[in-house]
Structure 1
């Protein structure tokens, strides 16, 4: 597989994403459903957004790993949140740490929504290649 990052500017590098990712000669694509802070027993977390984000990213890692893929090969990530402001102010630094830890270079879209399922405040939807 060949990945090519397209970044006409440099400002997004400190924000933990890229403008576009081109993939050639890949073996397979994994489309992940939105992963949120749903606990192993199926209950939705009632914790704060930062705690929910860590659980949701852990759930995303688990799905990707179980499918035989790697987080470093996430090429598209959509982030749905009930508050973009809270995400940027309280979670973004931890998100960027997660990106660095997994060597993720992905195109990202952040979307604020009126609500998510039950008590959830953040959800990640990924496309991964190998």
Structure 2
């Protein structure tokens, strides 16, 4: 699989993502449901702690990717939903740490929402991955 970044402007690179990517030669695509800060039984964790929720949501995303024989380097698109965008952005270094180690800056969208499906959750991340 070959990925070519498309960045007519460079401001998004400073925030850790490409404006777009051309994906060529991919043979498999994985569409992940939104991952949140829940344990293996679906119970919310880290209530009131955005940083903890982001970390666990990323851990859960990694587990789902692993189940398909992929990892964060295969992610080609992220959709992120947060009940407090400012607080999420203050903790976006977690995304940079996780995706930076695999040298991946997938296109992403961050959307502020009034609530998520499970009360107490503040952060949800969905992903598309290709291999």
The residue matched to 1:32 in structure 2 has which SS?
strand
In terms of mean alpha carbon deviation, does 97-106 or 12-21 score higher?
Answer: 97-106
Deviation at 1:104, TM superposition (A): 1.7
Alignment pair present for 1:23 and 2:16: no
Count of aligned pairs between the two proteins: 129
What are the ranges of 5 or more consecutive residues in structure 2 without an aligned counterpart?
A: none
Within a 5 Å distance, the mapping from 1:1-130 to structure 2 comes to 1-45=1-45, 46-89=47-90, 91-116=91-116, 117-130=118-131
Runs of 4+ aligned residues of structure 1 deviating over 4 Å after TM superposition are: none
Note the alpha carbon deviations across 1:78-109, whole angstroms, 9 max, x for none. Answer: 010001111112x1122211221232220000
- Over aligned residue pairs, what C-alpha RMSD do you find? 1.1
**Structure 1 regions of 5+ residues with no counterpart?**
none
* TM-score using structure 1 length: 0.94
Q: Aligned partners of 1:3, 1:95: CA distance in 2, in Å?
A: 20
Q: Deviations over 1:23-71 (max 9, x none)?
A: 1111110000000001122211224010000000000000001111121
Distance between the aligned counterparts of 1:74 and 1:17, measured in 2?
A: 12
Query: Which secondary structure state, in structure 2, belongs to the residue aligned with residue 75 of structure 1?
Result: strand
Per the normalisation by structure 2, the TM-score is 0.93
**Which has the larger share of helix?**
1
